[in-house]
Amino acid sequence: MSETKKSLTDWQELTQLSRGQRMVVERVRIAEKDIAIEGSFELPQLARLELEDQIFITAFVRSHGSIKEMERIFGVSYPTIKSRLTRIADSLEFVETNPNPSKSEILERLQRGETTAEDAIREMERLK
């Protein structure tokens, strides 16, 4: 069995065992570099999904988000695809990619001359 197929089989078994429960990884190894890191790491949200949902999301990304293509791949209707996407999306926490800066961050940018006083005031008002 190839290394890739073995890894996939191991991952499938792991997801079946965990059944979506929180899992903590304590050791990570980069095989090509023979480097290991130990600590306490939580798996990313997508890795915690059921295997079938991971396959579904992979197909969705590979089809560039085309629901018509998803209908063809899975042989189900548009409402079924939308319903499953909604269910998966509802199970994921949204990660803010552009959080509002804190008051101290705004003041530090002002002090460094990276923003104007007017812009800093506007940003501070949005924090209220």
Give the pLDDT confidence score for residue 7 in this predicted structure: 60
Task: Give the pLDDT band of residue 3 (cuts 50, 70, 90).
Answer: low
Distance CA 69, CA 83 (A): 16
Q: What average pLDDT is seen over the chain?
A: 86
**pLDDT for res 102:** 87
Q: Which tokens belong to 17?
A: 């065992």
Q: What is the pLDDT of residues 59-117, one digit of tens each?
A: 999 999 999 999 999 999 999 999 999 999 999 987 767 778 888 999 999 999 998 99
Is it the case that residue 17 has pLDDT exceeding 70?
yes
Secondary structure element (H or E) that encloses residue 122, with its range = helix 117-127
> Given a cut of 90, is residue 53 above it in pLDDT?
yes
Structure-token match 């997508």, residue found: 46
Please tell me the predicted confidence (pLDDT) of residue 85.
Answer: 96
The string over 12-25, giving b where at least 16 C-beta atoms fall within 10 Å of a residue's C-beta and e elsewhere, is eeebeeeeeeeeee
d(CA 4, CA 70): 25
Confidence class for position 20, pLDDT limits 50, 70, 90: low
Q: Which pLDDT value is given to residue 48? A: 84
Task: Read off the tokens for 100.
Answer: 């509002």
Helix, strand, or coil (residue 40): strand
